[in-house]
Structure 1
Amino acid sequence: MKKILYKVVAILVLTATISACSSDNDDQASGSGKITLEFDNAFGSNDLILQTQGNKTSNNEILKITTVKYIVSNVVLTKADGTIFTYPKEKSYFIADESTKAGQDFELSDIPAGDYVKVKFGIGVDKAQWQLGATGQGDFLAQAQAAGMLWNWTAGYKFFALEGNFTSPTVTTAVPFMIHTGQTGTDYNYTEVTLDFPTKALVRTNINPDVHIITDLSKILDGPNKIKLTDYNTSGMGAMIMGGAALPLITANVATMFRVDHVHND
């Protein structure tokens, strides 16, 4: 009797598994869903708090950050089978802003159903898009201008902006700092980032994954290239890095700031 029961249970489990797999495959093969890219700013191992939090660099400089903004663009998603989905370019420009909830979560719609394992995106506006001219930017130009992410049309977009005050062993009274990347002279300073997911993002008609991306802002100064704000405080009025030889080094650091912490499939 027990053997018969075991066989019945085994058959039921197998049938349920096959049915679930079949249903799962059906969901993957047709339809579309949404996926959200959530950008969570941090400094080292600490979640970022604007205005009041002291953030220490390897050069013993203490930063109190007041502004973090960057342009996220040209999103490309890769499935487990290697299939690539490029998000429509006209919808693929977003402004990350630590001070607003809308500047942290970016929902992408009409994503083909499937199991996604990788995302690629740009930081900044690619040169081909900028070369379309002011009239070729659509609504994003006004959006960037309102967010303070445009110097002027000739100078172009700010790709990344980090601002605040700092002190150091030799700068004992807090002074301001500004780090802005974008087009400077012959350097365009646009960069792209590719991130693997620790678990699959299961896009379905009834599942809209949330990809939680940590942005470690300490990498701006403590990435592959070490940048010391004190060295740029030459007038004693603060460190303003918006061009020159440091900007390509900072752009290289920007590319190392991001990692996917986890994926929510619900």
Structure 2
Amino acid sequence: MRSSFGAAYLKNYKKEITLKEMKNLLYKAVAVLAMSAALTACSNDETTVSGTGKVALEFDNSFNGNDLILETQANTTASNEVLKITAIKYIISNIVLTKEDGTTFTYPKSDSYFIVDEATATSHVLDLKNVPAANYTKVTFGVGVDKAQWELGATGQADFLAKAQAEGMMWSWSAGYKFIAFEGTFTSATVGTALPFKVHTGQTGTDYNYATIILDLKTKALVRSNITPQIHIVTDLSKVLNSTNVIKLSDNNPNGTGAMIMGGANLPLVTQNVATMFTVDHVHND
């Protein structure tokens, strides 16, 4: 009886040992596979993030949450003035992309001047080439042409000077570039018949009125040789007149013939407003 019991016990014990060994081997195999997969993923990621790619910056003009329609759309400001916008153009320059590790890539200055024109759909997307592959978390750009560039003189502007002249984005060479050209008609409680308005920013007297914009990306822009992120930036034009500062067109209509804000004390206030009118809506990593 003892011998039979001992044999059965030993047999069961061996089975238990065998099961434990099999489980251990299985756990080890799973661990090895997981480690191998992780190493492969790291290796693939390192391969993917090398080289260069492209980035598209899309500027989508709006007015207080509504997509902008030129000529016909009635846009009511926070000051209860009603604008019909006939033209909006602005210069985007000096683009810098910030990587997730905090380092930056500065787009070549000679290629970093663009004119966004609502009337020209192809101008809404700025195609940046030869961008180092990386994960980007911020975009920085200027509105206007920086003073250092302008001080290079007419011959130092390369092809952009001729483009700005053709687009009506120059006052004159001595007066410099128009950074923003915002135009249309308006009515208000005191202005019943539609009158023209123009808001042009740029160099005036001692004020240069160049604005630098820094925007966080809600989703990382994954630049790869086979992925071109599109960073969708919404420009809220209602903030030109109503943001950090409140500016009424009707207060800038001294002769009853229209509001022309192209200098004076209001222009630096407009520039402060311009710094607030851009937001990143989303990022497509396609």
| TM-score, L = length of structure 2 | 0.88
Q: Cα distance, 1:186 vs. partner?
A: 1.1
SS in structure 2 at match of 1:20: helix
Q: What is the identity, as a one-letter code, of the residue corresponding to 2:42?
A: C
Q: Cα distance, 1:58 vs. partner?
A: 1.1
Pairing partner for 1:82 from 96, 99, 102: 102
2:280 corresponds to 1:260: yes
SS in structure 2 at match of 1:103: helix
SS in structure 2 at match of 1:197: strand
Pairing partner for 2:207 from 174, 187, 210: 187
2:222 corresponds to 1:202: yes
Pairing partner for 1:21 from 42, 45, 65: 42
**In structure 2, what is the equivalent of residue 243 of structure 1?**
263
**In structure 1, what is the equivalent of residue 12 of structure 2?**
none
- State which structure, 1 or 2, has the greater radius of gyration over its C-alpha atoms: 2
2:90 corresponds to 1:70: yes
Within 5 Å, give how 1:51-200 maps onto structure 2: 51-200=71-220
Q: Cα distance, 1:12 vs. partner?
A: 5.3
Distance 1:18 1:60, change over 3 A: same
Gaps of at least 5 residues in structure 2 are 1-21
Identity between Structure 1 and Structure 2 (%):
65
- Alpha-carbon separation, structure 2, partners of 1:255 and 1:181: 12
Hey, which bits of structure 1, 4+ residues long, moved more than 3 A?
A: 1-18
Q: What is the identity, as a one-letter code, of the residue corresponding to 2:276?
A: T
What is the aligned-residue RMSD (CA, Å)?
1.8
Gaps of at least 5 residues in structure 1 are none
Within 5 Å, give how 1:227-242 maps onto structure 2: 227-242=247-262
Q: Which has the higher helix share?
A: 2
SS in structure 2 at match of 1:51: coil
Distance 1:162 1:24, change over 3 A: same
Q: What is the identity, as a one-letter code, of the residue corresponding to 2:132?
A: P
| TM-score, L = length of structure 1 | 0.95
Q: Cα distance, 1:20 vs. partner?
A: 2.8
- Alpha-carbon separation, structure 1, partners of 2:223 and 2:66: 30
